[in-house]
Amino acid sequence: MEKRNATVAVIGAGDYIGTEIAKKFASEGFTVFAGRRNGDKLAPLLADVEEAGGTIFGRSLDARKEDEIAAFLNDADSHAPLEVTIFNVGANVNFPILETTDRVFRKVWEMACWAGFLAGRESARLMLPRRQGNIFFTGATASLRGGSGFAAFASAKFGLRAIAQSMARELGPQGIHVAHLVIDAGVDTAWVRERIRARGGSREARTLMDPDSIGEAYWQLHQQPRDAWTHELDVRPAGEPW
Amino acid sequence: MEKRNATVAVIGAGDYIGTEIAKKFASEGFTVFAGRRNGDKLAPLLADVEEAGGTIFGRSLDARKEDEIAAFLNDADSHAPLEVTIFNVGANVNFPILETTDRVFRKVWEMACWAGFLAGRESARLMLPRRQGNIFFTGATASLRGGSGFAAFASAKFGLRAIAQSMARELGPQGIHVAHLVIDAGVDTAWVRERIRARGGSREARTLMDPDSIGEAYWQLHQQPRDAWTHELDVRPAGEPW
Amino acid sequence: MEKRNATVAVIGAGDYIGTEIAKKFASEGFTVFAGRRNGDKLAPLLADVEEAGGTIFGRSLDARKEDEIAAFLNDADSHAPLEVTIFNVGANVNFPILETTDRVFRKVWEMACWAGFLAGRESARLMLPRRQGNIFFTGATASLRGGSGFAAFASAKFGLRAIAQSMARELGPQGIHVAHLVIDAGVDTAWVRERIRARGGSREARTLMDPDSIGEAYWQLHQQPRDAWTHELDVRPAGEPW
Amino acid sequence: MEKRNATVAVIGAGDYIGTEIAKKFASEGFTVFAGRRNGDKLAPLLADVEEAGGTIFGRSLDARKEDEIAAFLNDADSHAPLEVTIFNVGANVNFPILETTDRVFRKVWEMACWAGFLAGRESARLMLPRRQGNIFFTGATASLRGGSGFAAFASAKFGLRAIAQSMARELGPQGIHVAHLVIDAGVDTAWVRERIRARGGSREARTLMDPDSIGEAYWQLHQQPRDAWTHELDVRPAGEPW
């Protein structure tokens, strides 16, 4: 593996998607800064990447705190130029509207939208002087459609998509590639995958994505040349109804 | 004017749109509960409605506070059954992403999205036992498209639209008509209208909406029978480019 | 009923929707020109309208023929100024892609899209010199979403929607109100309604629209003042999942 | 270059985009079947590909004729399994609605929509028994938005997009990857590029895409694994306003 003088910041490296993105970019020579709420849980990811010869730093990070986000990104950027930020914090919940408490609504928004705004803005602050960089936001079906019981989640995801669009239109001409990925898969954790397989759920298993494929999708976006950028990338398994 | 045993709550009765909606529903015999941050400024609206023989109550209301929203709506509902809630709080701002402060982003969201969630949920709580009612949210072009400089405003407006969609899909089958209006007009205050006219801006003036027309659009939605509801209504002047 | 010096042309007056639109506008004093492939089948509609004191002319009309469309609209306009054209020709079919024959694909397009183009263009030709008029196109869920088996129908309906958008953007500033209605109801013929009721399909029946409600929706659009036009109006029953 | 036992059919290989796609797939070892109205004009493309060691066949092809499309694709498939079909026929025109003749409207549809239906259906017929294959349709901004003067072009492009969506939903679960690319660039021919450069149009030139980048975008789609397919890919240069 040839090391690059570049870092990728993965904010929300706690789940299936974030972990795989981190591994993919590490395998391509990037230094990875991985942040999640409880940094201790990053140990397996750190071990995997280091075993494969990659460079990675794990951090406990509350992405809803401006100072923590800024410090995390500055730290990454001082190690080597921050070339890619991937915002991947999720908060999928479903409640009838009358049972959607103030606390839930606000927390989902802070995690899935507000934290994305902070991550995007602080990344842009570091990238704009160099007039290059990539800021990718992870979306979901709820980014495009508000469904019954999804007032909190869809509201946050719609809001994140608006941030991505607004930033893309402002920053694209200044050399920053801002993209929004709509990951449309029913299940996306290794744990759930095992559970479905265990109970023989063949149709459900058919509509799961392989870890490698997720990492590859983000990597493809990063590989796009400046004259052929994609802003919104939907990704789903062949068998997924949509 | 024949009085009805029904109230309409207008949350965000401070601007052009909210004022006209209040007048229209008052003229149709509804008791109006009008709320805005500084209730003193409602005096001209109250005077107009009362002079025309209508019934209206004005309240100072911080729509971002759950207890104030709940009290306002309960107050309306205890006067006569709450038949219509119109959420109309705006917060249009434009800043480059690096100049969009935490405070601005959060405040715009609290006014234009969070307050809408509170208003929608608390209205549903009152309406669901009767299995009827109307909850209308005011949107804008930024509800559909994130433009350069609009990260804060578009994010809040996208988020509000997601709430409207989610509530419509959950509550429609239970008899509650939830709708989202996309008011696409470059200018919508009487004050601005006068300014444009004063400086002879004929093209701009052509693309302004008349007060009566705004009130009429909300009224048309309310008039729709249960078997022919519109969820999203775009409204713009003939000359408005879109 | 007070008669107006104005005509409405209903192209595709053969089904439930077209018939109800014709009755509504007739009841408001418009002279109606109703066209359908086999004009003989218009007899019940003509009888209903005339019995109610309205004025209506029925014509056999192949809407896919430019000369027939032009003659029909000119005929209407020479009776009294053509104020409204409603294009309502449907052609809902569902076939797997391999069984979608050339003949079916082309015929569906000619009926649901090409005929709409002819109707729109020839109406604009008559309305533009007066700088006023209304051109309304009937759409469906398939106007917004291509589903399995709907290559032919959705392609035609998407195409019709593009015509409506393009015409609205060109003609709106010239005083012509062009709108597209998305009628999202599972069933829309009186015949099917009876069948469902007969077999006790309560859920299905709940999601049917009443004839009057359909006519009312088109009428509401026509009533909109020039400074508050809607371009796309979705309409569905309260119980319809979407 | 390692040759593959696979063919790619490029329908509409006449312009900038089609030519570059053909070169890219040839360079990856595919046998290319390139079709355009006047096959003689394929000579430079054939020479380029062959000089680079690739395998290519050029054909005169009227893509609006079912028998010609079927023969072209069968010919490709009998050479080696048809793995990819790329439909790339364009027909961008702009006329005021009153000047959009029947002939123009019908011809644009036949080229940009009807021919796409034929290409898609006949490709599916060959690919389905193997339960694998890729069918990619080239779209444009007019696929998503009908603009003033674009009734003919947008109608055809909307219609093509509906075909792509309908086929994707039907054929995805059967192993066929159907995608729609929204190529959003102001200018896309080598000829125009030279003209802009000649007159010093720096902003315009900044928003042109490089030939290689176009080929790469289609190639990336083809590279996607079955569990992470994209259906709609927007592609535009960094400086392009949207």
- Whether C202 contacts chain B with CB within 8 A: no
CA–CA separation, B241 vs D151, rounded Å? 17
pLDDT in tens, B53-98: 999 999 999 999 999 999 999 999 999 999 999 999 988 899 999 9
pLDDT band of D138, cuts 50, 70, 90: very high
Is 80 exceeded by the pLDDT of residue C12? Answer: yes
Interface probe with B: pick from C161, C208, C221, C227, most Cβ of B within 10 Å: C227
Q: Tell me what the mean pLDDT of segment B190-212 comes to.
A: 66
E-strand stretches of B140-188: 176-183
Contacts of C206 (CB under 8 A, 6+ apart): C237, C238, C239
- Whether A106 contacts chain B with CB within 8 A: yes
pLDDT band of D240, cuts 50, 70, 90: confident
Is 50 exceeded by the pLDDT of residue C2? Answer: yes
Q: Distance (Å) from the C-alpha of residue B102 to the closest C-alpha of chain A?
A: 8
Could you tell me how many CB contacts below 8 A there are between chain A and chain D?
Answer: 100
Contacts of B242 (CB under 8 A, 6+ apart): B141, B184, B236, C169, C231
Q: Tell me what the mean pLDDT of segment D32-61 comes to.
A: 96
> What is chain A's percent helix, strand, coil content, to nearest 5?
50, 20, 30
CA–CA separation, A45 vs A29, rounded Å? 16
Q: Tell me what the mean pLDDT of segment C58-69 comes to.
A: 97
E-strand stretches of B7-74: 7-11, 31-36, 55-60
Window from A129-143, B177-191, D50-64 with minimum mean pLDDT? B177-191
CA–CA separation, D3 vs D24, rounded Å? 13
Give me the numbers of helices (H) and strands (E) for chain A, helices first please: 9, 7
For a pLDDT cut of 90, what percent of chain A falls above it? 81
Q: Closest partner residue to C213 among B175, B209, B227, by Cβ?
A: B227
| CB of D156 closer than 8 Å to CB of D91 | yes
pLDDT band of C54, cuts 50, 70, 90: very high
Angle between helices A102-109 and A151-171 (to 10 degrees): 30
pLDDT computed for residue B186 by the predictor: 47
* B164 contacts in chain C (CB < 8 Å): none
CA–CA separation, C196 vs D46, rounded Å? 61
Q: What is the pTM of this model?
A: 0.95
Which backbone phi and psi does B144 adopt, to 5 degrees? -115, -15
pLDDT computed for residue A17 by the predictor: 86
Contacts of A144 (CB under 8 A, 6+ apart): A161, A182
> What is chain C's percent helix, strand, coil content, to nearest 5?
50, 20, 30
* C110 contacts in chain D (CB < 8 Å): none
Contact C228 B235 (CB under 8 A): yes
Q: Considering only CA atoms, which of C131, C5, C137 is closest in space to residue C78?
A: C5
* A239 contacts in chain D (CB < 8 Å): 172-173
pLDDT in tens, A164-177: 999 999 999 999 99
Q: Closest partner residue to A236 among D214, D229, D233, by Cβ?
A: D229
- Whether B147 contacts chain A with CB within 8 A: yes
Q: Distance (Å) from the C-alpha of residue B227 to the closest C-alpha of chain C?
A: 4
pLDDT computed for residue A204 by the predictor: 55
Is 90 exceeded by the pLDDT of residue C1? Answer: no
Contacts of C76 (CB under 8 A, 6+ apart): C7, C9, C31, C33, C57, C82
pLDDT computed for residue D17 by the predictor: 86
Tokens 């050399």 correspond to what residue? A175
Contacts of B161 (CB under 8 A, 6+ apart): A146, A158, B137, B139, B143, B144, B180
pLDDT computed for residue D9 by the predictor: 98
* A237 contacts in chain D (CB < 8 Å): 226-229
Window from B57-71, C223-237, D40-54, D187-201 with minimum mean pLDDT? D187-201
Chains with 3 or more CB pairs under 8 A to chain B: A, C
Q: Closest partner residue to D220 among A169, A220, A231, by Cβ?
A: A220
* A96 contacts in chain B (CB < 8 Å): 170
pLDDT computed for residue A203 by the predictor: 54
pLDDT band of C3, cuts 50, 70, 90: very high
pLDDT band of A195, cuts 50, 70, 90: low
Is 50 exceeded by the pLDDT of residue C46? Answer: yes
Contact D146 C154 (CB under 8 A): no
CA dihedral B68, B69, B75, B81 (to 10 degrees): -170
pLDDT computed for residue C190 by the predictor: 60
pLDDT in tens, C85-127: 999 998 889 999 999 999 999 999 999 999 999 999 999 999 9
pLDDT band of C136, cuts 50, 70, 90: very high
Calculate the average pLDDT of chain B.
92
Rounded to 5°, angle at Cα B149 from B148 and B150: 95
Calculate the average pLDDT of chain D.
92
Here the tokens at position A224 are: 């796009």
Q: Closest partner residue to C209 among B220, B228, B232, by Cβ?
A: B228
Chains with 3 or more CB pairs under 8 A to chain C: B, D
Contact D97 C161 (CB under 8 A): no
Contact C147 D166 (CB under 8 A): yes
Contact C113 D146 (CB under 8 A): no
Q: Considering only CA atoms, which of C77, C78, C22 is closest in space to residue C50?
A: C22
CA–CA separation, C101 vs D108, rounded Å? 20
pLDDT computed for residue C195 by the predictor: 64
- Whether D208 contacts chain A with CB within 8 A: yes
pLDDT computed for residue B33 by the predictor: 98
pLDDT computed for residue D189 by the predictor: 60
Contact A240 D208 (CB under 8 A): no
pLDDT in tens, C155-177: 999 999 999 999 999 999 999 99
CA distances from A192 to A19, A186, A208, D195, D226 (A): 15, 10, 10, 57, 20
One DSSP character per residue, C116-168 reads HHHHHHHHHHHHGGGT-EEEEEEE-GGGT---TT-HHHHHHHHHHHHHHHHHH
Is 70 exceeded by the pLDDT of residue D200? Answer: no
DSSP label at D216?
Answer: H
Is 80 exceeded by the pLDDT of residue D187? Answer: no
| CB of A212 closer than 8 Å to CB of A20 | yes
Higher pLDDT, C114 or D92: C114
Q: Distance (Å) from the C-alpha of residue A103 to the closest C-alpha of chain B?
A: 11
Q: Tell me what the mean pLDDT of segment C18-40 comes to.
A: 96
Could you tell me how many CB contacts below 8 A there are between chain C and chain D?
Answer: 141
The SS3 of residue A91 is coil
CA distances from A53 to A26, A27, A35, A56, B229 (A): 9, 8, 20, 10, 60
